[in-house]
Structure 1
Amino acid sequence: MSYRSNRQTDHSSHPHDHARPHVRRPAPLHSPAPQASSRSSYTIAHAGKQVRIGPVVFWIVVGTVTVMGAWSAATATYFAFRDDVLTRLIARQASMQYAYEDRIAELRARLDRTTSRQLLDQEQFDQKLDQIVRRQSALESRAAAMNALPDVSVTGSIKPPARGAATDGGLSAIPKPSPINDTVIFVAPPDREARLESRTPPTVAAQPAQFAKVQGLDTALVRLQTSLDQVETRQLATLNAVEDQYEGRIRRMRGVFTDLGLDLNQMQGATPKGGIGGPFVPVKPPSKDADTFDRQLYRISITRAQIDRLNRTLSLVPYRKPVLGEVEFSSGFGVRTDPFLGRPAMHTGLDFRASMGDPVRATANGRVESAGWSGGYGRMIEIDHGNGLATRYGHLSDIKVKVGDIIKIGQIIGAVGSTGRSTGPHLHYETRIDGDAVDPQKFLRAGVRLGSS
């Protein structure tokens, strides 16, 4: 490529043309404009092609190239002699890199904290769940212990025979106790058996991590805790009610001996033991760190053992009725007018109105001392209950026991009659202490208070 000017073309020639004579070519007559244009323009030739440009454009291009070259040289020189600029640039890049690294480290730390928090929450959840499971097991154990408490403690009483059953059965016809007004009955509160309302689902214990992801986990745990609190509250309330009833029962049972003027310790010492035998295993009291439930259950167990012992002692006290049905006396204990002589006389017992042949039952455990004809008593049975207590049943029409027989509460021992000094069918019933006749109503009233309270 070459740059050529028309003026150079018109006034110069190649070196080998110097020998030629200079011949001036006449210019055309009517073409001055093209010559002027040729002298003021530049031609660029490359590969046989020519491009003609004006001087303004040419100098603009030249100026631009010159300015750019000068700028590049100045910049290179500036950077070559000013190291602080490059240093600042490198420091800036390093600062940006450090900032990115710090940001990444912060994000990693935040992620680690989040992960640690999740692990901590999971661990706390597992601990709470384990605590709930242990507490549920403890409440179930308590419920089982409470279920072992007896619902009824009966000393024994007289139960009417079932319909169609024989009323004059043999010696083996021993009725079961029945809840009549002079019966010793202890009934536990109806809500004694405490049941768990809510149980932890099996999947919770098996897969705690999966359950922890369920929304509202805290609410579920709170509900479980609330349910267990309610169960525990009911169990403690039931224990309190049972303990109060046991203690009240003991007070009433001891009050019977006080009202009757009997020596409780002496009678308990003479009472046959309830067990048959076995190794002695002392009862261990609860430890100092035992909870309230265990200590209260221990007290109830001791109280229940005392009630059982008092029940065995009371089974020898004749405070029950000898006949069934409503109590109606034809004659009371004390001074009365003798029905045969019409003079004042001491009546040593109670006369129960009854029909001929009605069954007569033993009012306490004992042993038959006499059974047969006994003067004004007619056919009479006397039962020794131990500790100086005895009962007599007179004017019987039939005797169903013999001397030496062991008698149980409510056992039929004879039938109502009118033998001896009697004006009609009735039962003459006596209670004696150390051979002296005492008012049977004193014993009956004590039994009514004990059974109805």
Structure 2
Amino acid sequence: MRSQASFGRNDKGSRHGVHPALFYGMFAVLLAGNALLVTAFLLSPDIARLLSGKNEQVIEAYENRIAQLRVEVDRLHSRSYAQAGDINLQLQELAQQQEVLIEQHQLVRVLVDKAGELGIETAALPVHDVGDQALAPRTDGNPDIDATAAAVAQMMGETQFAMTSIAETATARADSIVTELTGLGIPVALPTTLDGVGGPLLPPQDEDDASAMIDDANAVMGALVRYKAARDSIDDAPVHMPITGNFRQSSGFGNRTDPFSGRRAFHSGLDFAAASGTTVFSAGKGVVSFVGTKSGYGNVVEVTHANGLVSRYAHLSGFLSEVGHAVNTGTPIAKVGSTGRSTGPHLHFEVRKADSAINPKAFLEAGKRLLALLG
């Protein structure tokens, strides 16, 4: 009994522990001394990975850092200082910069999401050398306003860098696509402005940071819209391989020794030897305009593309499409065979313009370069 009573008294005593007021006081002291230091550790590492394939996770972490900076700015406002005049002015400017940073980041997030949909990952942002003491308190114990302002300014510069990187990447890719397709004789029409732009003509006003930032964001979105139009134009051209798997090119475009007559003759396409029944795919987006037989070609499928080009697939063993069907790049349209004037199962692939055959090799090679460009 004495032992149990003693045990009960010890248990009761242990529950008193550290007094809550003392505990929270200690916690407040630790928080005040380390809030800025922790922010310094968080300030730079994630932004370097902002658009390197982990967009969503890194943006979330970046938003947490912005929220932490906002807490720090609010905390600075709540402190009392002897030199109230100059410091209050600094705090007001710092709060305004913080609000601009938040708006800027919201715009960047929209642009990052749009760029991600188009397969664009901007270059990694520079890793700044931010030491452990960057946001440490001054020797008098007060937080360093200048260091906090520098941190906000740095993050604004980083988000601006992200916007610039997106625009440069989108513009460079759009220009490369236009160059490739123009070289094939395919004109590419790109929008010059964003859709839905208008309003009354008013005299200009003095710009603030927010309006200039919105103009920058609109310019980036314009670059993304142009890139999307350029990228979509790739699918309208027959530049993709119409066959995959185990195959080889067995004959090229141009004059060759005819396999039946033994004399020189013109070959109007590329031949790809493959097993009978191998699936044939549309080389680009378009509409099936012919399904049937043609002299010398055997079974044929033709697809007419938006730019007026026609891709022809011949010597087929079977059809997987009908006239009028809308097809995309990679849509199965037929099966490899050996019908018509053929020595064995293979796909004869042609590209035609104004009813004349042109070399498909230039189209397929351009397609390979464009696929590499798009990653």
Q: Which amino acid aligns with 1:223?
A: A
- Partner of 1:319 in structure 2? 239
Q: Which has the larger radius of gyration?
A: 1
Relative to the length of structure 1, the TM-score reads: 0.54
Kindly report structure 1 stretches of 4+ aligned residues shifted beyond 6 Å: 284-288
1:217 to 119, 142, 160: 142
Relative to the length of structure 2, the TM-score reads: 0.65
Indicate if the aligned counterparts of 1:132 and 1:224 stay in contact, CA closer than 8 A.
no
Q: How does 1:87-98 map to 2 (within 5 A)?
A: none
The 1:375–1:288 alpha-carbon spacing in structure 2 relative to 1, beyond 3 Å, is farther
Q: How does 1:16-415 map to 2 (within 5 A)?
A: 117-120=82-85, 123-124=88-89, 126-153=91-118, 186-189=119-122, 191=124, 215-219=140-144, 221-265=145-189, 281-282=196-197, 289=207, 291=209, 293-325=213-245, 328-415=248-335
Which consecutive residues of structure 1, in runs of 5 or more, have no partner in the other structure? 1-114, 154-185, 198-211, 270-279
SS in 2 for 1:386: coil
The number of equivalent residue pairs is: 277
Residue 138 of structure 1: how far off its partner (Å)? 3.0
SS in 1 for 2:304: strand
Residue 320 of structure 1: how far off its partner (Å)? 0.8
Q: Please list the CA deviations of residues 342-379 of structure 1 after superposition, one character each: whole Å capped at 9, or x if unmatched.
A: 11111000011322222111011111111122222111
Indicate if the aligned counterparts of 1:359 and 1:414 stay in contact, CA closer than 8 A.
yes
Which consecutive residues of structure 2, in runs of 5 or more, have no partner in the other structure? 1-79, 131-136
Residue 435 of structure 1: how far off its partner (Å)? 0.7
Q: Please list the CA deviations of residues 400-432 of structure 1 after superposition, one character each: whole Å capped at 9, or x if unmatched.
A: 111121112211001111221212221100000
Residue 290 of structure 1: how far off its partner (Å)? 5.4
In 2, the alpha carbon distance for the partners of 1:125 and 1:296 equals: 27
In 2, the alpha carbon distance for the partners of 1:248 and 1:213 equals: 47
SS in 1 for 2:314: strand
SS in 1 for 2:182: helix
Q: Please list the CA deviations of residues 308-345 of structure 1 after superposition, one character each: whole Å capped at 9, or x if unmatched.
A: 22333332211111012487311000001111111111
Q: Which amino acid aligns with 1:391?
A: S
In 1, the alpha carbon distance for the partners of 2:330 and 2:291 equals: 17
- Partner of 2:65 in structure 1? none
SS in 2 for 1:250: helix
- Partner of 1:429 in structure 2? 349
Residue 136 of structure 1: how far off its partner (Å)? 3.8
In 2, the alpha carbon distance for the partners of 1:336 and 1:396 equals: 22
Q: Please list the CA deviations of residues 123-177 of structure 1 after superposition, one character each: whole Å capped at 9, or x if unmatched.
A: 3464255235324423432433333432143xxxxxxxxxxxxxxxxxxxxxxxx
In 1, the alpha carbon distance for the partners of 2:218 and 2:306 equals: 33
In 2, the alpha carbon distance for the partners of 1:444 and 1:229 equals: 48
Q: Which amino acid aligns with 1:127?
A: Q
Q: Which amino acid aligns with 1:397?
A: S
Q: Please list the CA deviations of residues 25-50 of structure 1 after superposition, one character each: whole Å capped at 9, or x if unmatched.
A: xxxxxxxxxxxxxxxxxxxxxxxxxx
In 1, the alpha carbon distance for the partners of 2:228 and 2:215 equals: 20
The 1:244–1:143 alpha-carbon spacing in structure 2 relative to 1, beyond 3 Å, is closer
The alignment's C-alpha RMSD in Å is 3.3
In 2, the alpha carbon distance for the partners of 1:296 and 1:129 equals: 22
SS in 2 for 1:236: helix
